[in-house]
Structure 1
Amino acid sequence: MTEATDRSEPPSRAPPSLLDKADKIAKIFATAAIPIILGVGGWIIQTTIEHDKQESARIQQDQQRAVDKDKISLEYVKIAKDILTSTEKDLPKELTTWSWRLIDGVSPIKFAKEDLDRLIDRKERIPTPSTVSSFQSLADEYNRMFKELILAVENQKVDGIVDKVIANKVRYSEIESRTGVPWFFVGVVHYLENGLDFQKYLSNNDPLTAVTVHVPKGRGPFATWEDGASDALRISGLIGATDWSIARILFRLEAWNGFGYRRRQVNSPFLWNCASYYTTGYFVSDGAFDPAAIPERCGGAVLLKRLMDRQLIANQ
């Protein structure tokens, strides 16, 4: 008897479906597309990098052009300033006209039109400050400059500051009753030193709640602004002073800030900023002078001029 064997046929297979075909095609395409995708992706990345490099280079070029433009502007300002501070008597009017118009054009603080016209018509110059620092030597200079002062800004700008000083008159008058220093002098110094902030020491913008770290160092802390202000006036030697003429006021204001500007042949912005006597040059910190810098705040002489013009204080 022969042994039986399994002769059954293998099960039949279904024809490939559309889904199977699509899957195969997708795999083939994916395999073939990898180098294409890598190539395209690499091109996109490279293009992005090149674009970023170009954009960075463009920004750097723009920044450099801006720096170069500022340098050129500063050089022109120096030329204009040299012309207007020249002691030569017969300078052509064309030179002084060009100088005033250039300074007005590049300055962030503009002259009122009528004031600029007057400076040009009269061939006005910028007086060069004396390098001495005694009141007797400077009194005539202060009186003359104050009398001939021309604002480099609209009256409204200075009046806005003056109005804020007047609003604090009661507190400044309290200092006057303690020290004898006129309230308006206190108010002007308060604006010049710390922008009318009653949380700061009068002389150096340090907080009242801690010992001062800027000149004058080691003062305080103080319980009130009035206590700190009285201390600042005392160590400045102003308590008991009697002469409060305009020349003496301007001398005391300049002495308060220091005579370092005179050694650099610059009219102190602490007095003359926002007036035709001042262009550029500023101590941005103790001992650090920047010839191109300009302070934000108008000078004390400018505020005093508006206080007098508006008859808020008597002519000193």
Structure 2
Amino acid sequence: MTDLNALKAANAARWAKAKLTRNFTGVAKRLVAPEAKARYQIVSVKTGVPWPFIAVAHERESSQDWAGSLAQGDPWNKISTHVPAGRGPFKSWEDAAVDALVNCAPRAALNKDWSTGGTLTMLEQYNGLGYANKGRPSPYIWSGTNQYVSGKYVRDGVYDPNVVDQQLGCAGLLLAMMSLDPSISFDGDHAPAPPAPAPTVPPAKPSAPSVTNPAPGSLGAFIASILSAIFGKKK
């Protein structure tokens, strides 16, 4: 069984030394774009999972295809056939994403450690711990950085040490996103701040007393009540 605490420490140490070796900017801009960020934040509020985590998982699983489920990239409006299979159909991408984070292993919504090591290790668990069991950095996390050179599972259970993963890894995506969006940070056990609640609208002030709207208890109110009593009786 993988020692997750040791993996968190290893990922935190790699993060501290990580430098980008490929161009992540174009993809990072897509992930932090206001319209995309707003959708990720909706899911974040419902699950407690930081929106940048959701964004990079979306990119890795379906190249940010809004028709693809966060869980495995299958169409969210149909029953999924890839692992996790049998999920859906859902009413929206957001509903499918909530299901993926709450009900599908490793259930990121239950995670309480959103430090860099904890975040990267949770992302690695989504892809599998085969690399950690070999003591190798996962390309799912580190591809495109100086923390990864080569090595990839080319199919289930088959590891080739000479193959280089061409996809952009989660750590590099997060680093590039942080350079574009200063609100993204990982501080100990605290996740990036959720979106601020909508400002409350103060109740409307009552209109100032007038001839047609006299103040309660005033002479005008007394006269108005008498007139109402007199004219209200007329048919």
Secondary structure at the counterpart of residue 283 of structure 1:
strand
Structure 2 partner of 1:149: 18
Per-residue displacement from partner, 1:67-102 (whole Å, max 9, x unpaired)?
xxxxxxxxxxxxxxxxxxxxxxxxxxxxxxxxxxxx
Secondary structure at the counterpart of residue 131 of structure 2:
helix
C-alpha distance in 2 between matches for 1:148 and 1:295? 20
Q: 1:175 aligns with which of 32, 36, 43?
A: 43
C-alpha distance in 2 between matches for 1:212 and 1:292? 32
Alignment of 1:211-222 (within 5 A): 211-222=79-90
Q: For the structure 1 residues 249 and 214, does the alpha-carbon distance in structure 2 shift closer, same or farther, using more than 3 Å as the test?
A: same
Q: For the structure 1 residues 266 and 253, does the alpha-carbon distance in structure 2 shift closer, same or farther, using more than 3 Å as the test?
A: same
Contact 2:80/2:87 (<8 A) preserved:
yes
Contact 1:267/1:278 (<8 A) preserved:
yes
Per-residue displacement from partner, 1:235-254 (whole Å, max 9, x unpaired)?
23222433211110011011
Secondary structure at the counterpart of residue 202 of structure 1:
coil
Which of the pair is proportionally richer in helix? 1
C-alpha distance in 2 between matches for 1:265 and 1:139? 13
C-alpha distance in 2 between matches for 1:240 and 1:263? 23
Q: For the structure 1 residues 228 and 158, does the alpha-carbon distance in structure 2 shift closer, same or farther, using more than 3 Å as the test?
A: same
For 2:6, the aligned partner's letter is: S
For 2:26, the aligned partner's letter is: G
Structure 2 partner of 1:244: 114
Q: For the structure 1 residues 194 and 295, does the alpha-carbon distance in structure 2 shift closer, same or farther, using more than 3 Å as the test?
A: farther
The structural deviation recorded for 1:302 is: 0.9
Q: For the structure 1 residues 177 and 160, does the alpha-carbon distance in structure 2 shift closer, same or farther, using more than 3 Å as the test?
A: same
Structure 1 partner of 2:184: 313
TM-score computed with the length of structure 2 as normaliser: 0.71
Per-residue displacement from partner, 1:14-51 (whole Å, max 9, x unpaired)?
xxxxxxxxxxxxxxxxxxxxxxxxxxxxxxxxxxxxxx
The structural deviation recorded for 1:193 is: 1.1
1:162 matches 2:28: yes
The structural deviation recorded for 1:286 is: 4.1
Contact 1:261/1:268 (<8 A) preserved:
yes
1:278 matches 2:148: yes
Structure 1 partner of 2:200: none
1:256 matches 2:126: yes
For 1:211, the aligned partner's letter is: I
C-alpha distance in 2 between matches for 1:205 and 1:288? 22
Alignment of 1:90-169 (within 5 A): 133-153=2-22, 157-167=23-33, 168-169=36-37
When the two chains are superposed, the root-mean-square deviation of aligned CA atoms in Å is 1.9
- Larger RCO, structures 1/2 (Cα 8 Å, 6+ apart): 2
C-alpha distance in 1 between matches for 2:37 and 2:159? 33
For 1:313, the aligned partner's letter is: I
C-alpha distance in 2 between matches for 1:222 and 1:285? 29
Structure 1 partner of 2:137: 267
Contact 1:308/1:315 (<8 A) preserved:
no
Structure 2 unmatched runs, 5+: 188-235
Structure 2 partner of 1:47: none
Q: 2:91 aligns with which of 195, 202, 223?
A: 223
C-alpha distance in 2 between matches for 1:281 and 1:191? 21
Q: For the structure 1 residues 250 and 232, does the alpha-carbon distance in structure 2 shift closer, same or farther, using more than 3 Å as the test?
A: same
The structural deviation recorded for 1:276 is: 1.3
